[in-house]
Amino acid sequence: MQMFQSLMRFPSKVTPTLPPGACLAGADFTGSFGYMPSLLKQFKAALKTKSMIAPGDGVLVAVSGGMDSSTLLHLFKEIQREWELSLHAVHLNHQMRGNESNLDAEFVRDLCGTLKIPCLLKEVNVKETQKKSGTSFQETARRVRYQFFEEARAQTGSDKVALGHHADDQVETVLLNLLRGSGLKGLSGTPQVRGPYIRPLAHCFREEIESYAHKNKIPFREDPSNSSSVYKRNRVRRDLVPFMQKNFNENLKSNILETAQIIRDDDEYLQGVVEEMFPATIQKGDQSLTVLGAEFLARPLALQRRLLRRAFYELTGSLRTISYKHIESVLGLFKNDGRFRRVSLPHGVTAWSRGVDVVLDRDYKIPELNLKTPSPEGIVELKVPGAVGVAAGQLQFTAGLATPDEAKNLIPTSTRAHFDFDQTGPDLRVRFFQPGDRFVPLGMSGRKKLKSFFIDEKIPRELRAKIPILTIAGGDIIWVYGKRISNLYKVSPGTRKILIIEGAAL
C-alpha cells in the first residue's frame, strides 16, 4: 500500500497531455471558463441553499478522473477565489483495472497540476483487502474509499468532502433499491449532505454535466466498465430507464427525484420521532441492547421496525446488511406463545427473548441461566429480574417488572402470569410437586390441596410431578405453571409494580 503523495504541479502551459483513454470535451483547455452555464448556477445554489460549505472552508474533491468528478473539480476551482476555499483533490487507485487504473491516477495528477490544486493519491489493492475482510467487493471498496477520505481530511484539515454523484445516479439508486426491496430510506436515494460529505450535483442531470464539460473543454477519462452489462446499475441506466421513459413517462427521472425528495422528508421526520422515543424504549448494556417489550409493543408497527433498525445501528454502526426479513424475525420474538426464541443477525448479533423483552446481543449469553434439573425436593432460585432453566434445560422461566401501563399490552396466557411484586418480593423459587402442597387458586378464598386441584383439572397422575411450581422465598405457591396463579398474589387496582413471569420451552 502506497502512502499519500502531496502533489503540487504548476506547469506554465495549461493544456494537459492526456494519457490514452482520456477524452477532451472540446479543443484546448484554457483554464478560464468565461461562460456562465446553468450548471454553475445550480452548483452555487446547492452550496448555498443546503449550507454545504461556508466561505473559508477546506474542501476535498474526490476525483476518479471521469466526467462527473472532473467537472466537479472545475466547478470548485471556478468559485475558489470567490468563496476563499482551500481546495485539495483526492484519488484512490484501487488497482482493479491494471495499467488503466494507473493511467487514471496519472490523469488526475496532471489535471490537478493544470488547475493548481494539490492532490492526494493513494494505492490500495481492494481485491486483496476483500479477501482478508470477508466482505463483498462493493462493501470493501466503499469502506476503503471512505477510510481514505477521512485520512485525507485529517491530513489536510479539510471541512468537507465533495462527491460527484448527480441526478441520474439518484434515479438509478432509487430504482435499484426498489427492485431489490427497500424501505423509505432506500427509496429516498442518497442525501445531498451527510455529515462532512456533500453532493453538490445531486439535482443536476448527466446531460447538463456533459454539456458543461463540452462547452468548457474539460478533459476526462472514460471507464469501460461503465458500459458493461455485468453490472446491474449499468443495465438500469442503459436499458431500463430509457425503456420506461419511452413507453411510460418521458418525465420519469424528474418524477422519481421529486418522489424521492418527498420520501426523504417523511423519512427524516419519522427518524426524528424514533430518536425521541429511543431512550425510553431501548436500554443500553456493554455489548447488548434490551428492547423493553411493554414500551415497544405500545408503538405502531412502522415505528417498531425503525426502533429495531436504530438499535441494530447502535450496536454495529451499519445498516447495510440488515434486511426486512431480519427485522421481521426479531419482531417474531415478541409473540405471546411462551416459547424461548433466538435469531442470528448480521455482524455477529443475536436477538433473543427474555420474558417480555428482547435482547440484541453481540456477546450472546443467557443471563443467570441455571440448567440443573431440581430433584423432587430440589429448588432452583429465580431472581427478579432474571432467568433460570429447569427440566434439564428444556424449560426456561424469565422474570421482569413493568408498570401497570406498560403491562397493558402483555396479556396473561397459560405461559405468562402477572403478580403483585410488592406481595411476591424479588426472590422466587421453582420446584415440582411435593406431598401436602396447598395454595389458594385464583378466584377462591380458601386454600386447596394441590393434589385435589390436579384431580379437579383432570391432570393424569404421571404428569403431576412434571408441572413446575413457582413459590416465593418463604415457600408459598404463587403459580402452578400453565394452570392457575394464587389469588393471594394477583394484580389488584392498587398494584404499583407488576411482576411478569414467563415460561418458554427451549
pLDDT tens, 354-390?
Answer: 778 898 988 765 444 444 455 445 688 898 888 887 8
At residue 23, the pLDDT reads 52
Please give the CATH architecture assigned to the domain spanning 380-505: 3-Layer(bba) Sandwich (3.50)
Specify whether the backbone of 392 is left (phi greater than 0), alpha (psi in -120 to 50) or beta.
Answer: left
Among 478, 469, 475, residue whose Cα is nearest residue 499: 478
- Residue 110: pLDDT band with limits 50, 70, 90: very high
The contacts of residue 78 (CB under 8 Å, 6+ apart) are 33, 40
Report the SS3 class of residue 88.
strand
CA separation for the pair 445, 484 (Å, rounded): 14
**pLDDT of amino acid 356:** 81
Give 391's pLDDT tier (boundaries 50, 70, 90): low
Q: Which three cell numbers stand for residue 493?
A: 387496582
Gap between the Cα atoms of 440 and 447, Å rounded: 4
Task: Enumerate the β-bridge partners of residue 119.
Answer: 7, 89
pLDDT tens-digit readout, 221-266: 987 777 677 788 899 999 999 999 999 999 999 999 999 999 999 9
Q: Which of 210-219, 269-278, 461-470 has the lowest mean pLDDT?
A: 461-470
CATH 3.40.50.620 residue spans of the chain: 2-259
Q: Which residue has the cell 436477538?
A: 351
CA 497/CA 406 separation, integer angstroms: 10
| Residue 236 grid coordinates | 438500469
What element of type H or E holds 89? Answer: strand 86-93
Q: Tell whether the model's pLDDT for residue 60 goes beyond 60.
A: yes
Percent of the chain with pLDDT over 70: 87
Query: Residue 347: what pLDDT?
Result: 84
Predicted TM-score (pTM) of this structure? 0.63
Statement: residue 429 has pLDDT above 60: yes
Q: Over the range 312-351, which residues count as b (16 or more CB within 10 Å of their CB) and which as e?
A: beebbeeeeebeeebbebbbebbebebebbbbebeeebbb
2-259 is classed CATH 3.40.50.720: no
Confidence of residue 336 (pLDDT cuts 50, 70, 90): low
Return the CATH class of domain 285-361.
Answer: alpha beta
Q: Each residue of 4-52: pLDDT tens digit? A: 443 333 333 333 444 444 554 443 333 344 444 489 999 999 999 889 9
* 115 sits in which H/E element: helix 99-115
Cβ(478)–Cβ(472) below 8 Å = yes
- For 300, phi and psi rounded to 5 degrees? -60, 155
Give yes or no for residue 296 having a pLDDT over 90. yes
Mean pLDDT score, 324-340: 78
* Mean pLDDT of the region 438-460: 93
CA-wise closest residue to 498 among 423, 427, 448, 447: 423
More confident of the two residues 287 and 117 = 117
Name the one residue in this structure whose C-alpha cell is 484501487: 94
Q: Is 472 helix (H, G, I), strand (E, B) or coil?
A: strand
Give the residues across from 284 on adjacent strands.
289
For β-strands 498-505 and 416-420, DSSP reports them as antiparallel
Which is higher by pLDDT, 505 or 319?
319
